[in-house]
Structure 1
Amino acid sequence: MDVETIVEQRGDAPARVIEPIVDACSRVDPDTGFGLYLHVPFCATRCGYCDFNTYTAGELGSSSSPESWLAAVGRELDTAAALLSPRRPVSTIFVGGGTPSLLGADGLRRLLDAVRERFDLAADAEITTESNPESTSPAFFDGLLEAGFTRISLGMQSAAPHVLATLDRTHTPGRAVAAAREASAAGFEHLNLDLIYGTPGETDADLHRSVDAVLDTPVDHVSAYALIVEDGTALARRIRRGELPAPDDDVLADRYVLLDQRLHDAGFDWYEVSNWSRTPASE
């Protein structure tokens, strides 16, 4: 089906919404499985460095809700399923955001069920959701495991309180570590922690502290990203006003080397620009 036909049949979405779906589906190899990325746009608060497609409750107003979003996702999946017929197995699902954990375990289960209703999942499908440590709990992780999720990615960013404050992160360093341990105790074998390095005010000692905290958890994967100052963000405005220094490229390079050496010494192998894993299975 072409874009015009789908727009006419659905009647609830313009061509600019349908075109990316058609384009993505056209590039799926008909003889292999494929991956799905599902974006949850909700956040409790907006982090100062973030320019992702996210919205707080105040920005959305009363007309939008997780319920209406789940219904919209179902319609997008219907379109993709029609374009990808006959059914092909989904090999990976990644739920990102935003803050997917704001949906709760039940909301994420319903999201996964919506995929299962329309697509076959490979027997060994990797199913990941990002989570903010502040919106998780032991019961949350129990519910995700029961729903069929196989991997958790937690946004830690730093173990230094002043760095988290600069990034406008609301969780404490200890909460991120506790969440990783709770996920492991629930039965998750594959866990990732995200770090950000190069934040204004961060020192080498701060980054060492962050790596120490990561290594004190049972994670088998680490993602570490150099801070990028995006136009239009609160962080960019603070730097422009002279309240904070801009990240220094040489410092970022040195921190990257520091991270790689620390993680390598701890048994993590670098396999992609920003990613390290303990085993090939955790890549």
Structure 2
Amino acid sequence: MTERTIAIVTGASRGAGRGIAIALGSHGCTVYVTGRSERQGDHALPGTIYETAEAVTRAGGKGIAVRCDHGDDTQVEALFDQVLANEGRIDILVNNAAAVYDELSMPGQFWEKPRKLADMIDVGIRSSYVASWLAAPGMAAKDHGLIVFTSASGAAHYAMGPAYGAHKAGIDKMAFDMAVDFKAAGTRVAALSIWMGALATDRLLAMIAADPEKYGYLRGQIETPEFTGHVIWALYNDPELAALNGETVIGAEMAVRYGLTDEGGRQPPSYRDTHKVAPHRHHPLIIR
């Protein structure tokens, strides 16, 4: 019997994380689903880690819910200890957890919005670093693994203010720099960042319903939350993955590369076409 691929998807109670976890489950993965929501009412939006884990199992995988606040290093360490004790390895880490607040899309300048928006730098950039730091030694020792950061085009243009932009730009650069270290260590572990499109999450659908004049155009560009998970699975199984190590890729373009479509056979558009933006190209200079 083929061993299940072992994946951790952080921030998977709802939204992109939930969709990615379910998609990986449909490919037979064991998916550790992390987040803080254990019961309805823990968050303004619906969704819990247990519901996601059950959906992963229904999809054909094995979903395991682990309550974890990614702003607490002790809880994150316990998560990785649990996975390694149970499974002996981690094949895929999806860094998706982020402190996202409704006030991000409020009108006004950054100093007119709540200071808590800076939390995205802690639970977003720092939390992704810590999770990757914990996953990397085992991956490097086994010469196998994929670390993914879920990003978006706000890394390269203004979107909802500097906290959001710093988060997206920061994780794109983190993927690049981690790849430099993996290559220097002579391991085949890969790190990359994926620009997801506008996702049909409860949060975005509510925003569209509340202000269709402002956000209605997104209906024609929207991706299902599962779409990125299928792209990640294709990347993980790509024998040429090393060529993409350290890159920031656009999920819609990777789908074309791998012959993937979204729900209903749709081919989501690329930011390169809709927004006329593309990921930054990093210089090859290395200073140690």
Pair in the same fold by TM > 0.5? no
- Computing the radius of gyration from Cα coordinates, the structure with the larger value is 1
Q: TM-score, normalised by structure 1?
A: 0.39
More helix by share: 2
More strand by share: 1
Q: Which has the higher contact order (CA 8 A, sep 6+)?
A: 2
